[in-house]
Structure 1
Amino acid sequence: MTIDPLLQPSLAAPHAPTAGRFWALVPCAGTGSRAVAPPPAAAPAGSTISAFGALAGAAGEPLPSTPQLPKQYHLVAGHPMVMHTLAAFAGVARLAGTLVAVAPGDRYLDQHPHPSYFVVDCGGPTRAATVQGGLQALQARGAQRDDWVLVHDAARCLVTAEQIDRLIDACANDSVGGLLAHQLADTLKTSLDGPGGVRVASTVDRSNKWLAQTPQMFRIGPLLDALARVGTNVTDEASAMEAMGLHPRLVPGGAQNFKVTYPDDFALAEAVLAQRGYGTTLARFGGERGLGASETGRKTIF
């Protein structure tokens, strides 16, 4: 029997045992400049910028003179975007811990402490450098090289605990690891640019094309080794593992697990959360929307 060469790395040896804990790592150090349109001279009432200004004022923080808030902290459905992300991970019981890797000096999440995650200011100039710093911080906290890490974009705020659990189930016995991904549904074109503008050069077969999503799940040791070898300019963890000659498993995610990247994406994310009833974030962290503290005195996420 001939074995597909793409499957050989996973079949060359018995599957790795499930032994090893599961950790989550949320890089949260980027500025998300593509997602933030230049603010008007005076932010209109009810806008994200004015809402954040009110939040900062209520917390006793100085209001920024130019409110260019990193996108992961912009309000979506009444909460900072990253809190919706962290709510999903808080619903995964088998995680040993969730590390949020922020930029040095970023104290924003001090306002929102919760035992389901911890914050380390280990962010670097690129996503991969932030992941490297986060992996090292996990090791300092006791994580082992054979433990699994699920790296997830802070701006994929629509991921669900069920999707995260499905990824763990699919990859826990895999010798490589894998990632959530969404099979391409649209016709795919290549382009050429000339005097007549940008035009179609060709149509690409989409039958084996996938949009990479997160979480991406790999053993901590091999991922650190891969990043050390290929450098910190790779755009996702799977790319680093691929550069080592490995073939991560693709686990179907969903169209709603998109990354908030452009200004219009905020409205789409808010619409999805509205359809869900905002329930997950409230259920994970407690309290009622609009209140500053719970009856136990624990500060809520808003």
Structure 2
Amino acid sequence: MTRHFAIVPAAGSGSRMGAERPKQYLDLCGKPLLWHALATLTRVARIDAAFVVLSPEDEWWDSFDWTGLGPRLRVLRVGGATRAASVTNALQAVAAEVHPEDWVLVHDAARACLSVAQVDALIDALADDPVGGLLALPVADTLKRADVDGRVLMTVSREAMWQAQTPQMFRHGLLSRALAAAPGVTDEAGAVEALGLAPRLVAADATNFKVTYPQDLALAAQILHARSVQ
């Protein structure tokens, strides 16, 4: 029986937030931003372990109490200069305990509003898939391509367009090969696509957004508060 493992790369600086500390450690509802994604992943019954990937020079992690997330949370201080490098290093670090056919779910540390239901839906949808896939959101807005002056160059059809989210779920062996062959990608699905394979898109919703700018923290707090009072 194949197992499921999560990898959360969290070695970045989050420079677009303009904050004094790395984005993953900014406060969100009294916890570090990163805590919320890890809390969700460690609550998913079918995930055997969740590996958070930190920079070797990370000085913030030990400032917080993570013990409430339980024994399935594991720390890997092997983060690289890019997301792809961090994930590649993590895949190598866990290779002795994760079988090539085991599933790996890579999730953005800044997608704090991920729910257990969304993860379960992804796992269910890809259980027998030969490639793997990712959570994604069908594009609803009209898309415009800009020129160098910031003016509309053309309107791009939104038909069959999806916005990639995470987790992105692939087997350990396949993902390792894909990232080795295409280390410059911005997400795992892109590396798998570069092998000539077609990852499956699993519909999610807009709550699973990536906190990128300061105003995003307020929206994430509203979503998490609304869930807590339901």
Give the TM-score taking structure 1 as reference length.
0.72
- Partners of 1:136 and 1:268 lie apart in 2 by 36
Aligned position for 2:71: 115
- Partners of 1:269 and 1:171 lie apart in 2 by 27
- For 1:257-287, what per-residue CA distance to the aligned partner results, in whole angstroms no more than 9, with x for missing partners? 00001111111111111212279xxxxxxxx
Aligned position for 1:214: 166
Aligned position for 1:242: 193
- 1:193 is displaced (CA, Å) by 2.8
User: Is it true that 1:129 corresponds to 2:85 in the alignment?
Assistant: yes
Of all paired residues, the percent bearing the same amino acid is 51
2:192 counterpart SS class: helix
Q: Which residue, out of 108, 111, 116, partners 1:161?
A: 116
User: Is it true that 1:98 corresponds to 2:47 in the alignment?
Assistant: no
1:182 counterpart SS class: strand
Give matches, 1:136-175, under 5 Å.
136-140=92-96, 142-175=97-130
Give matches, 1:147-296, under 5 Å.
147-194=102-149, 198-231=150-183, 233-277=184-228
Asked whether the equivalents of residues 42 and 49 of structure 2 are also in contact (C-alpha less than 8 Å), the reply is no
Asked whether the equivalents of residues 77 and 278 of structure 1 are also in contact (C-alpha less than 8 Å), the reply is no
1:102 aligned partner, one-letter code: L
Structure 2 runs not aligned, ≥5 long: none
Asked whether the equivalents of residues 148 and 217 of structure 1 are also in contact (C-alpha less than 8 Å), the reply is yes
2:95 counterpart SS class: helix
2:5 aligned partner, one-letter code: W
Give the TM-score taking structure 2 as reference length.
0.94
Aligned residues: 226
Q: Which residue, out of 20, 26, 31, partners 2:8?
A: 26
Give matches, 1:71-86, under 5 Å.
71-86=23-38
2:145 counterpart SS class: strand
Which structure would you say has the larger Rg? 1
- Partners of 1:116 and 1:35 lie apart in 2 by 30
- 1:218 is displaced (CA, Å) by 0.2
Q: 242-251 or 263-272, which moves further after superposition?
A: 263-272
Distance 1:80 1:255, change over 3 A: same
